[in-house]
Amino acid sequence: MISNNSATKRIKYRLSFGTGNAYINESNLILKKYLENKDWRETEKYSIENNILQTNTLSSSKRIFREISLRLKSLSQQEQDFFIRSNYLDQSILIWIAICRTYKFIGDFASIVISEKFNSYQLFLGYDDFDYFFEKQLIFHPKLHDLKDSTIKKLRQVFFRIMKDLNILTKNLEITPQMPSIELKELSVETKKDLEMFIPGSIT
């Protein structure tokens, strides 16, 4: 079921997605501000001063902003412009693409596990699928051995929460086909490629 190529072996997994959620609304507000000033430092300052992220501590605000900005930076200028004028569904799809690009662990899981299960009409996606994938990746990413069991469980919990928030999964843990707008499908070659790779049922 799980396959890996040499590129997968070389790229280190970033696992900081464990900080929280999908952050669709927050991403929208942050990106709008960034596109006004084209300065990520100024955008961070504005976001923290106005408590856009609704956190209780400065350190939490900075940590969450860093993760959101990393995701948004993975979007092209064209995708960023489209994001702030698109509907909630297209925004959700673009956020998932950004997450898959930013966190290769999630991108690999989406392109390998979710894609294969969806294409073979096996729509249930459970914790066992995460655990199986994680165990396979230990061969190619030895640093994963350093993670505590509690950390792995937290990552798994957050990962599934993000997928539910973005409607990739239903509450019953079934993979949901996505229906991006025609405009999103035709936005760019790169966008279409990642729709096909990461978004179940998006390209017909």
Cβ contacts of residue 109 below 8 Å, gap of 6+?
130, 133, 159
User: Distance between CA 195 and CA 94 in Å, rounded?
Assistant: 9
Q: What is the pLDDT of residue 198?
A: 97
Phi-psi sector, 121: left (phi>0), alpha (psi -120 to 50), beta: left
User: For residues 14 and 149, which has the higher predicted lDDT (pLDDT)?
Assistant: 149
Residue with structure tokens 């790229």?
11
How does DSSP assign 3-51, residue by residue? Answer: ---HHHHHSPPP-GGGG----HHHHHHHHHHHHHH--HHHHHHHHHHTT
In this predicted structure, the answer to whether residue 204 has a pLDDT above a threshold of 80 is: no
- Which bin fits 80, alpha (ψ -120 to 50), beta or left (φ > 0)? alpha
**Distances from the Cα of 28 to the Cα of 20, 100, 170, 188, angstroms:** 16, 18, 23, 21
pTM score over 0.95:
no
Tens of pLDDT, residue by residue over 10-55, are 467 888 886 778 999 999 999 999 999 999 999 999 999 999 998 8
Q: Quote the pLDDT of residue 5.
A: 42
User: What pLDDT shows up at residue 11?
Assistant: 60
pLDDT at 6 over 80: no
Contact in structure between 116 and 84 (CB atoms under 8 Å) = no
In this predicted structure, the answer to whether residue 8 has a pLDDT above a threshold of 60 is no
Across residues 178-203, what is the average pLDDT? Answer: 94
pLDDT in tens, 156-190: 999 999 999 999 999 999 999 999 999 999 999 99
Per-residue pLDDT of 58-95, as tens digits, reads: 999 999 999 999 999 999 999 999 999 999 999 999 99
